[in-house]
Amino acid sequence: MNQNYAVPAVALVVLATVLVGALGLRISRTTSDFYVASRTVGPRLNAAAISGEYLSAASFLGIAGLVLVQGPDMLWYPVGYTAGYLVLLVFVAAPLRRSGAYTLPDFAEARLESRSVRRLAAALVVGVGWLYLLPQLQGAGLTLHVLTGAPRWFGGVLVAVVVVATVAAGGMRSITFVQAFQYWLKLTALLVPALFLLLAWHGDGAPRVAFDEPAAFREQRTVRVDDTLDIKLAAPLTVTATGTVDGTRHHAQRLLLPAGTHRVERGTRLVFAPGDPVPGGDAGGSGMSTPLAHARQERPLYATYGLIVATFLGTMGLPHVVVRFYTSPHGVAARRTTVVVLGLIGAFYLLPPVYGALGRLYAPELALTGQADAAVLVLPHLVIGGVGGNLLGALLAGGAFAAFLSTASGLTLAVAGVLTQDVLPTRGVRHFRLATLLAVVVPLAASALVGGLPVADAVGLAFAVSASSFCPLLVLGIWWRGLTPPGAVAGMVAGGGSALLAVTATMAGLPGGGPLHALLAWPALWSVPLGFLTMILVSLATASRIPAGTAAILARFHLPEALYAGQRTAPREVQP
């Protein structure tokens, strides 16, 4: 990867983001015409902004990496990330907008008229936001590491600094334009190289790989091991090694490795022959890289359903998605926006699997060295090469950075907003800046402590927590009269709290295997029903505590705005 191209591309993206953010409003919205000034955000613009904020590192890099390593089972990720908006559209979008709530704690307070439910919701929003920020920062670190060889922590720090600096300098004046711009940037950055890669693949005779077989090397390939790793062999394999394998030094010797686990020290070169299956790797030797992969291999069906439940139901509780619905002028517009989001995101998610499939074909050794998340970035260089490959690689690098920046800034603002309103003592501009710093620094510190889960998996964990706490609150809050404040608190604590504990244990790399480990790694399948059930049962037990205004609140949630206003007032006077 030629860094002479990548670094300017990343710098350009950062600069463009800051410029559009600071100047976009001044250019497009300074007017003396009130009809121009009071034009609300249309569904298409808002949908592009939501998509831009939503498509994170997990979508841009992570899905391709997972498909590369584990094959077509991982296509459930893009399906789940998209289908979440369908559930949001059907059950939540319009009533949420009509509630007038800006954040999820606002919704909890508007629906249940209780400060304590609000505080709990705020705590969970911060938790989910931090969980979601963590993989973004780690992904940024990985990207810069692959592109320029910078240390792994550098990318995360860079993203954090850019986000905090823009907020401190007065914030994104035109956040909607920035995020919409980022969506189109990301789509272009993924689409154009994909077309060239497909052309190159076609020119190569359009080789096909059966997805069900383990990935194999198509030609003789030398793999340099940068970090000490354990490789697992299902069958004996002959390689040519230069360096240290299993504690013995070799110098360009052919080795017959028996089935089992072998330790390869850093700096070793392994040469594989064409047709060799790609062995499974376990980077770092610390035993905490991909616990999820083991759980998935052991119980594929359970893992898949866990993933489906988490992503389908988790989208509605993502703090940075919820705040964007406030921008829609009314409930119907919110619904229309969601439909457009489905289209935009669906189009985008056609692309990452292409990279995953091509990566399995052309760069299978990434699975061995534990850098599968970088597959998207290195493919043009491997497949096309030359200046063209470098340029396309630079475009992808820029797109990846757009993904980190947009999602990270959206999440940071959402978390910082909740921190200023519900956690820090008084409101004010200075407190908002402090909250921004707090919102970024905690996941940044955690990203240094907690080891590298695959980006898409780590995001999946945030979805699981959101699905088990906010999905019950939103769905029952909107569709069930019987919800009470104690019920909501109990449900959020039982569902969200247990999911949070399971997720933290998984991220910490709790050793062990077996059913318990699978349960912890994919909590949504039990924690979501637990959350719903607790919320319903406790609400039924405390039926006397149903808020007095429930009927009026639900009427406001569900009736179209014009109708609600008309029904509430006396017939209007004759209009001129």
Partner 1 sequence: MNGFLAGMFAAALPLVAAGFWAGRRTARPQGLGDLGTPVEHATFQTLHTASLAAPPLRAGLTPDTARRAVRGLRTLLGTDALCLTDGSSVLTWDGAGEHHSAEILQRLGRIRETGRGEAFRIRCDDDGCALHWAVVAPLTVDDRVHGALVACAPRESAVLVRAAGEVARWVSVQLELADLDRSRTRLIEAEIKALRAQISPHFVFNSLAVIASFVRTDPDRARELLLEFADFTRYSFRSHGDFTTLADELHAIDQYLALVRARFGERLSVTLQIAPEVLPVALPFLCLQPLVENAVKHGLEGKTDTSHISITAQDAGSEALVVIEDNGVGMEPERLRRILAGEAGPSAGIGLSNVDDRLRQVYGDGHGLVIETAVGAGMKITVRLPKYQPGVHSAPGRTGPIPRTR
The distance of closest approach from Cβ of residue 37 to partner 1 in the complex, given in angstroms and rounded to an integer, is 4
Q: How deeply is 429 buried, as exposed, middle or buried, from its count of CB atoms within 10 A (0-12, 13-18, 19+)?
A: exposed
Question: Between residues 4 and 544, which has the closer beta carbon with respect to partner 1?
Answer: 544
Distance in angstroms (rounded) separating the CA atoms of residues 336 and 573: 32
Q: Is 10 helix (H, G, I), strand (E, B) or coil?
A: helix
Distance in angstroms (rounded) separating the CA atoms of residues 195 and 204: 14
The distance of closest approach from Cβ of residue 102 to partner 1 in the complex, given in angstroms and rounded to an integer, is 4
Positions that interact with partner 1 (CB under 8 A): 25-26, 29-41, 100-103, 106, 109-110, 113, 171-176, 286, 288, 326-330, 413, 416-417, 420-421, 426-427, 429, 432, 446, 449-451, 500-501, 504-505, 507-511, 544, 556, 561-562, 565, 568-570, 575-576
The distance of closest approach from Cβ of residue 50 to partner 1 in the complex, given in angstroms and rounded to an integer, is 12
Q: How deeply is 558 buried, as exposed, middle or buried, from its count of CB atoms within 10 A (0-12, 13-18, 19+)?
A: middle
Distance in angstroms (rounded) separating the CA atoms of residues 541 and 518: 33
Distance in angstroms (rounded) separating the CA atoms of residues 328 and 565: 18
The distance of closest approach from Cβ of residue 449 to partner 1 in the complex, given in angstroms and rounded to an integer, is 4
Question: Between residues 401 and 432, which has the closer beta carbon with respect to partner 1?
Answer: 432
Question: Between residues 197 and 333, which has the closer beta carbon with respect to partner 1?
Answer: 333
Distance in angstroms (rounded) separating the CA atoms of residues 393 and 4: 11
Question: Between residues 223 and 538, which has the closer beta carbon with respect to partner 1?
Answer: 538
The distance of closest approach from Cβ of residue 293 to partner 1 in the complex, given in angstroms and rounded to an integer, is 17
Structure tokens at 251: 């110098």
With vertex at residue 531, the alpha carbon angle to CA 478 and CA 79, rounded to the nearest 5 degrees, is 75
Question: Between residues 65 and 417, which has the closer beta carbon with respect to partner 1?
Answer: 417
Query: What's the one-letter identity of residue 545?
Result: R
Question: Between residues 31 and 253, which has the closer beta carbon with respect to partner 1?
Answer: 31
Asked if 237 and 207 touch (Cβ cutoff 8 Å), the reply is no
Distance in angstroms (rounded) separating the CA atoms of residues 533 and 277: 47
- Other Cβ atoms within 10 Å of 238 Cβ, number: 11
- Other Cβ atoms within 10 Å of 461 Cβ, number: 29
The distance of closest approach from Cβ of residue 405 to partner 1 in the complex, given in angstroms and rounded to an integer, is 18
The distance of closest approach from Cβ of residue 315 to partner 1 in the complex, given in angstroms and rounded to an integer, is 21
Question: Between residues 72 and 566, which has the closer beta carbon with respect to partner 1?
Answer: 566
Question: Between residues 70 and 506, which has the closer beta carbon with respect to partner 1?
Answer: 506
With vertex at residue 221, the alpha carbon angle to CA 216 and CA 225, rounded to the nearest 5 degrees, is 100
Structure tokens at 226: 């940068």
The distance of closest approach from Cβ of residue 428 to partner 1 in the complex, given in angstroms and rounded to an integer, is 8
